[in-house]
Amino acid sequence: MSDGREGTAGPLSVAPEPVAGHGLLTGRKAVVTAAAGTGIGSATARRLLSEGADVVVSDWHERRLGETRTALAEEFPERTIGAVVCDVQSTEQVDALITGAAAELGRIDILVNNAGLGGETPVVDMDDAQWDRVLDITLNGTFRCTRAALRYFRQAGHGGVIVNNASVLGWRAQYGQAHYAAAKAGVMALTRCSAVEAAELGVRINAVSPSIARHAFLDKTSSSELLDRLSEREAFGRAAEPWEVAATIAMLASDYTSYLTGEVVSVSSQRA
């Protein structure tokens, strides 16, 4: 007998192919943090490009960032694609990212705050360095990037959009994830409060809250047993594909959500 937690077999248990772009962001200029590699960040950059935007991708890992930019440029030769190395733990590097991206693209319309760091350590075994690093990258990094973008938008005077990457762990409990959950709950609160402040600048700020999106980097940082178990408990019996989260980010960045701000949109098939 089922305990009600297992996923449901059916058409949606197999990940669909990515949906083609529809020009939702034609002419827009975007910055995406933590965009190197195979995760949500690179998928978001690809989705924004497919929707007609020009994009600057950023990450702290220079080689992976360069490889990502090269791959995107080959896929979207008609788009402007820049790359700026940035560690979101550094205010100076974050400020330089926004300044440099605005110079390369001519302006910035969209910022996607994707940088974050997880882990799996019970509180009783966690040291200060583990706690501080996750909070500094995931929450403080989002704050630094949001602050720099809002200062840019205030000076530019043309409005803009910020989309943050939160997590369902900002709402739900999971063993060994106290630091990550606390950071993502902070991202949610930052989203709500900064959105109220940003409204007078003509800037919308929202967040996505994925349950689990499976990609190569996640498999390196979490046990396959845990990821398999979490995936199986999703309503569709599988994890999200990174592009499925990226598609929601693109929607939030577009004019289709012009009256939406301060909201956290769950990208999840997980049962309550």
pLDDT at 218 over 70: no
Q: Where are the alpha helices (DSSP H) in 60-158?
A: 62-75, 91-105, 128-135, 141-156
152 is catalytic: no
Q: Position 142: which residue type?
A: T
Radius of gyration of the chain (CA): 18
Catalytic option among 175, 180, 256, 259: 180
Question: What pLDDT digit, counting tens, does each position of 100-142 carry?
Answer: 999 999 999 999 999 999 888 999 999 999 999 999 999 999 9
List, in order, residues 6 or more apart from 160 with CB less than 8 Å away: 108, 109, 110, 111, 149, 152, 153, 201, 202, 203, 204
Question: What pLDDT digit, counting tens, does each position of 227-271 carry?
Answer: 667 766 777 878 788 999 999 999 999 999 999 999 999 998 765
Q: With pLDDT > 90 as the criterion, what percentage of the chain qualifies? A: 77
Q: What is the pTM of this model?
A: 0.91
